[in-house]
Amino acid sequence: MREYRTEELAEAAGIPVRTLRFYRERKLLPPPRREGRIAWYDEHHLARLRTVAALLERGHTLGGIAELTVAFENGRDVGQLGELLGIGWSEETPVRLTPEALADYFEGEVTPENLAASLDLGYLATDGEEIVHVSRRLLDVSSALVREGVPLSAVLEAGRAVREHADAMAALFAELITTHISQDAVPRLRPLAKSVVEAELTMAMDRLRPPAQAGQPGQPSQPSQPSQPQTPSS
């Protein structure tokens, strides 16, 4: 495993050295390995910094991220991570994985680039040897697509596009319910919004199906053209 000096780790994470030291003072980073006066960091520290950056991008505060870090280090039940990640009454169940289990899910597709993309999307959070995927359903679907032959990088890029549309739909329904009922009604009525989205997606997928080809098994054949009357021979 590669090790980094302080300046090297900051450069790899894309942050100033003073920010790295601030994170360390706030207990957002595990202590480095000391060799004399030199502090040595490893890939786990880099992964933690990427997790912090991803959570900040999603609007979390440093205080909230510090609470999440404490939860990891104290072994809090993974079912409580949803609240810490700000997804509150989400139906999604976070999943705690070892690096080996994550590799098994994606059959050789767990590259540094794909890990960075997953952290950026907020699908993964890491702490030392532990990895948490934010959604059991997304984990299972992503794994199934990879097993079918879709590269994980393409799955993640599609997930990024879906996220943009999903955010827009969520904002639409939240505004609809808040405007005409109340903000407090949003959690209660969100199953209705989910049903509308699922129905519209199903019909959209139906519209993408090619028209039935004549002559295929189980398809009605095209009516035959009437024959032309023959001219009587002399």
Query: What's at 174, amino acid-wise?
Result: A
Which H helix or E strand runs over 66?
A: helix 62-73
Q: Give dist(CA 86, CA 60) in Å, integer.
A: 8
* Nearest in space to 96 (alpha carbons), one of 63, 65, 66, 136: 136
- Rounded to whole angstroms, the maximal C-alpha distance in the chain is 116
pLDDT digits (tens, 9 = 90+) for 112-159: 888 888 888 888 876 556 678 878 888 888 988 988 899 999 999 998
Averaged confidence pLDDT in the chain? 77
Q: What secondary structure, in 3-state letters, does 120-184 show? A: HHCCEEEECCEEEECCHHHHHHHHHHHHCCCCHHHHHHHHHHHHHHHHHHHHHHHHHHHHHCCHH
pLDDT digits (tens, 9 = 90+) for 5-44: 999 999 999 999 999 999 988 888 888 999 998 999 998 8
Contact between 4 and 46 under an 8 Å Cβ cutoff? The reply is yes
